[in-house]
Amino acid sequence: GRTLRAPAATVDTHCPYCALQCGMGLRPTGGEEGVEVVERTAFDVNRGALCGKGRTAPAVLSSRVRLTGPLVRRRAGGPLEPAGWDEALDRTAAGLSAARGSYGPDAVGVFGGGGLTNEKAYALGKFARLVLGTSQIDYNGRFCMSSAAAALNRAFGLDRGLPFPLADVARTGCVILVGANPAETMPPALRYFTELRERGGKLIVVDPRRTRTAEHADLHLAPRPGTDLALALGMLHLVVAEGRVDTGFVAARTSGWEEARAAAMAHWPELVERITGVPVPALREAVALFCDAESSMVLTARGPEQQSKGTDTVGAWINLCLATGRAGRPLSGYGCLTGQGNGQGGREHGQKADQLPGYRRLDDPAAREHVARVWGVDPAVLPGPGRSAYELLDALGRDVRALLLTGSNPVVSAPRAAHVERRLRSLDFMAVCDVVLSETAALADVVLPVAQWAEETGTMTSLEGRVLLRRRAVDAPPGVRTDLEVLNALAARLGWERGFPTDPEEVFEELRRASAGGLADYSGITYRRIAEEDGVFWPCPEVPGTDEADDPAVDRSPAPHPGTPRLFLDRFATDDGRARFAPVTHRPSAEEPDADHPLLLTTGRVLAQYQSGAQTRRVAELNGAAPGPFVELHPRLAERIGVAEGEPVAVVSRRGRAVAPARITPGIRPDTVFMPFHWPGEGRANTLTNPALDPVSRMPEFKVCAVRVERAGDS
């Protein structure tokens, strides 16, 4: 029963998946999905190129794989059964109210996602604080890039993942790519690195595995997992020892150098070789490539960030950039390749435990005052900061008794997942908004089917800090509502009389006002401007007197703010305008190998699957290409435990056991095994991972834990 609101022509939009937010066109068809993907070459980031995930994205629109009506569990332990919207919403409001009534507002939790549009992330934060009155809201982006965000704030006073457009990557002299595998996670981005090398630039890849990305590198350094902080310190040591410090830049534009220098001097190359396993000559070569180039960059992804010392690890790489004058200058700097589709925007508008819209701090009185004014409430009613994502999940069924979850699948994606699954099952009540019946939705008391990507309009902020417009191209099935409609309906049932806007553009207009004057200032951005300019880079404050600029009949004077593709060229966003060195030293991971668990496990992604796989596992072509998990291990290790290619291997950590077929490759360190984390069940990698948290970012240590491996039949 899909009724197509056939667009007159192809609709320009963006991919539903990763933070590259590739441009694509959607053309109506008579088929089950309603639309097909066509090239959109005018969008300069991907120029029409898409990976398999983007190319096959319409498959998830099909009613065969997605939810088309609400489901409720009418008795404890009973099945999820089809229900009408009124019953589902009434039950949700009653479940949330009961917990609040019995235990207080903080007994209700809200868990969001980094794939939600800016409008939804904003509305969810507002709903939690005003309607539910709870401080207990956080989101899965905490698992994604929060360590880079914390390090960026500490060093530069501002967290925008990339302070320059991706196009600059192709034009710099040298890039160090740390713990990032764009060849599998965002293939269309690879062209920037290919172009870099074609122009004579150098690519250094730091990764314990010889990934598809490492295959493209001039130099591949393979440190032991959890030691890249020491690697960065070792490089900084050589920079000092070889007289390569840019003393003029350090004096004019930074603070804290002496302490950072002293920390680096305590990490001499031979010590760093012992810690990391990277030979001293390779370290010297990396320093020479990085410093001999006229401009250079360090880009990190989840590798250095998903550690219990992730903030300091990213800080160490930033220190290297600062000491060599590779920041705040054209074609140079540090950047983070954010992962989730709206990983950047998702952290700016208030669905994070410690934040209000505009990237304001919840404990800052002026910030509370500003946002409360926009929301028409007394600042005193705004709750304080809540728990971070893992701490929130760990509190379920104890302090937090009811949960509203949207855009996330923690049963597969959270660390120590079996424990998290038990916590979710122990809740008094859970409602899940999702497009498909994910492993987490299957545990809910109420499942609310929501519209997705091509079925609704909204903005996304890509890894470049560029605000983009995803346009509605097709109607959602009739039994489906948007997240904004769900929040509005719940708000009414929970006694919020003023309503919640359900029109995305109306929400964006409010978001603009809420963000005005904040670090992530969107006040000068409108849907119209995004459409005309193919995206606007924040910060983009509104210039007084330009509001009429939305009316083409009115003369545009003064000129609106152009947006900010490149940050920090004149000054950093700190109070004194100087970038801050971080005084960081190496320390071990939270869990080091011992006699019982002598190896290290690291986790990551494969080309054909996305995050918890809730969507991509339902797409036949993608599932055919990557049907299940595997354990990557070195031939020497495979021989020692006696497994052949494809035979089941058990990986055992202090938290559990996972089994998957062996994939034997000399491209991984002999002391390390790797598992992708996209699958539930026996091969769920996150059964094994360690929820030890970074003290600043509260990021769990997905990238390193101690394990043993054995033939699956042996235990």
Binding region for ligand SF4 (CB under 6 A): 15, 17-18, 20-22, 46, 50-51, 53-54, 186-188
What are the start-end ranges of the H helices in 494-643?
A: 504-515, 527-533, 620-625, 635-641
**Which of 92/117 has CB closer to ligand SF4?**
117
Least Å from the CB of residue 204 to ligand SF4 = 22
CB of 22 to ligand SF4, least distance (A): 3
- Separation between Cα atoms, residue 383 and residue 464, nearest integer Å: 32
Closest by CA position to 449, among listed 435, 437, 439: 435
Q: Which is nearer to ligand SF4, 51 or 626 (CB)?
A: 51
CB of 340 to ligand SF4, least distance (A): 10
Residue 292 tokens read as 């001999």
Least Å distance, CB 468 to ligand SF4, is 11
Which residue lies nearer to ligand SF4 by CB, 603 or 615? 615
Q: Which is nearer to ligand SF4, 272 or 607 (CB)?
A: 607
Cα(303)–Cα(553) distance, integer angstroms = 51
Buried b (16+ CB within 10 A) or exposed e, 546-584: beebeeeeeeeeeebbebbbbbbeeebbbeeebbbbbbb
Considering beta carbons, is residue 574 or 615 the nearer one to ligand SF4? 615
Tell me if 359 sits within 8 A of 159, measured CB to CB. yes
**Other CB atoms within 10 Å distance of the CB of residue 186:** 26
How many beta carbons lie within 10 A of that of residue 588, not counting itself?
13
Give the nearest distance from C-beta 434 to ligand SF4 in angstroms: 19
Location of structure tokens 């029109």: 503
Min CB(15)–ligand SF4 separation in Å: 3
Q: Which residue is nearest to ligand SF4 (CB)?
A: 54
Q: Select 393 or 468, whichever has its Cβ closest to ligand SF4.
A: 468
Least distance (Å) from ligand SF4 to the CB of residue 113? 16
HSE-up of 424 (CA within 13 Å, CB side)?
27
Identity of the residue, 48 or 661, whose beta carbon is nearer to ligand SF4 in the bound complex: 48
CA-nearest of 374, 328, 364, 365 to 523 is: 374
Place of tokens 């305590």: 266
Is 50 or 424 the residue whose CB approaches ligand SF4 more closely?
Answer: 50
Instruction: Between 226 and 341, name the residue whose CB sits nearer to ligand SF4.
Output: 341
Residue 231 carries which side chain, given as an amino acid letter?
Answer: L
Residue in 65, 46, 17, 189 with CA at minimum distance from that of residue 678: 17
Nearest-approach distance from CB 655 to ligand SF4, in angstroms = 30
**Rounded to the nearest whole angstrom, what is the least distance from the CB of residue 218 to ligand SF4 in the complex?**
24
Q: What is the DSSP letter of 561?
A: P
Pure H helices in 548-651: 620-625, 635-641
Question: Are the CB atoms for 678 and 412 separated by under 8 Å?
Answer: yes
* Minimum distance, C-beta of residue 188 to ligand SF4, in the bound complex (Å): 5
CB of 18 to ligand SF4, least distance (A): 3
Residue 619 CB, nearest distance to ligand SF4 (Å)?
12
Closer to ligand SF4 by Cβ: residue 209 or 470: 470
Q: Where are the beta strands (DSSP E) in 395-517?
A: 402-406, 429-434, 446-449, 458-461, 466-470
- In 3D space, the residue among 379, 339, 406, 332 whose CA is nearest the CA of residue 172 turns out to be 332
What one-character-per-residue DSSP string does 333-367 give? EEEE---STTTTGGGTSS-STTEETTTEETT-HHH
**Which C-beta is closer to ligand SF4: that of 119 or that of 184?**
184
**C-beta of 612 vs 687, nearer to ligand SF4:** 612
Residue from 538, 386, 557 nearest 463 by CA? 538
